[in-house]
Amino acid sequence: MTKVTKSVLFLLLKVGLIAAAYGYIAWQLTSMHNLHQVLQGVGDRLFSTKAILTFLVVLLLMFLNWGIEAKKWSLLMTPYKAITFKESYRAVLAGLTVSVFTPNRIGEFFGRVLSLSFSNPVFAMLSTIAGSIAQLMVTIVLGLPAALYIYLLHMPISQMPIESIIIGVSFVPLILLILLFQYLPAIFRWLATLVPSRFRIVKYYMRAFTPHTQKHLNLVLLYSFLRYGVFTAQYVLLLCFFGVSEYYLDLFIPVAAVFFIMMAIPSVALAELGVRSSVALSVFSVWFGLSSKLTDEVTMGIMVSASVLWIINIAIPALIGSFYVGQFNFTDFFGKIIGKWKS
């Protein structure tokens, strides 16, 4: 294959990725069952001081959210390449653009690494997965107690002592997971000794996790907790703005439960805005106990908040990231991967 042919193919691939991202976001927005409610809910409240302040804060928190993720990712890339915050931010947004239409957000790992030149792209992608694992663990540790607490609210009084003991014991493995994360390099070094020598390529790529220090991994966990706090605050602000509750503290537990349940749903389905709204509505229905609090206005507020959060945290950053997809270097990426396999 000539250089000209490669250049044309890779250019078409970049255009295809951008078109797929734009098309997917447009399809999601136009296929929203509650699009009219979203537009009406935003339009009715848009021209007020409270609306301007709320949306300004939520938008600023969106940039902070992805800024924290960029800082976390640059920290994970430290053993392989020195990356500036600006480079990391662009790579994170480009990865988000590719991830919006790929199953289980797998495109995110490729998109980030394609944005920069790494001597070992596969190592960089595997280290990116470590950051996702940290975020996943934080969501479980904070979301599972919230989901179980909501479940306990509707348990018969006679069963609660037994259930409470079971739930209390179940938290032990969660805490151990957080503690074990900082020992990830040692765990993979030990696992590599168990892999037969004939699987040398597996042993080789397991080394991707070993250069990270305990300090780095603790910081990765800290950034994951901070990110969780940021997008939780965004959701709570939107829920209060759209009239779900007047009390911010009343919403943190159900919001944590919503994030936990959404995490358990395959991301292809999760990307459906209707599914996001349905999960949120189901959790808040249980939280409010199907009481008179769940009026039509509150129901609309729950659904609109979930949709607006997706637009602000996913759609807008993905559109911004599309401007950096053009910087993808497929020749360098595939060339180095093929070179490593041949060696």
Write the pLDDT tens digit of every residue in 171-191.
666 777 777 888 888 888 888
Whether the per-residue pLDDT at 269 is higher than 50: the answer is no
Alpha carbons within 13 A on the beta-carbon side of 138: 20
Segment 131-143, tens digit of pLDDT: 998 998 899 888 8
Say if CB 39 and CB 45 are below 8 A apart: no
| Residue 28: partners with Cβ closer than 8 Å, 6 or more residues away | 271, 272, 273, 310, 315
DSSP string, 205-268: HGGGGTT--HHHHHHHHHHHHHHHHHHHHHHHHHHHHTTS-S-GGGTHHHHHHHHHHHHHS-HH
195: left (phi over 0), alpha (psi -120 to 50) or beta: beta
> Percent of the chain having pLDDT more than 70?
80
Of 216-225, 283-292, 324-333, the poorest mean pLDDT is in 283-292
Of 147-156, 199-208, 263-272, 306-315, the poorest mean pLDDT is in 263-272
In terms of pTM, does the model score above 0.85? yes
Q: State the average pLDDT for the chain.
A: 80
Q: What is the mean pLDDT of residues 321-332?
A: 84
- State the amino acid at position 46 in one-letter form: L
Segment 38-84, tens digit of pLDDT: 556 555 566 677 888 999 999 999 999 999 999 999 999 998 888 99
Whether the per-residue pLDDT at 196 is higher than 60: the answer is yes
Segment 271-314, tens digit of pLDDT: 566 677 788 888 888 887 755 566 777 778 888 888 889 889 99
Q: What is the mean pLDDT of residues 99-113?
A: 83
Residue 180: per-residue pLDDT: 80
Pairwise CA distance, residues 293 & 43, whole Å: 24
- State the amino acid at position 62 in one-letter form: M
Segment 257-266, tens digit of pLDDT: 999 988 877 7
Residue 69: per-residue pLDDT: 96
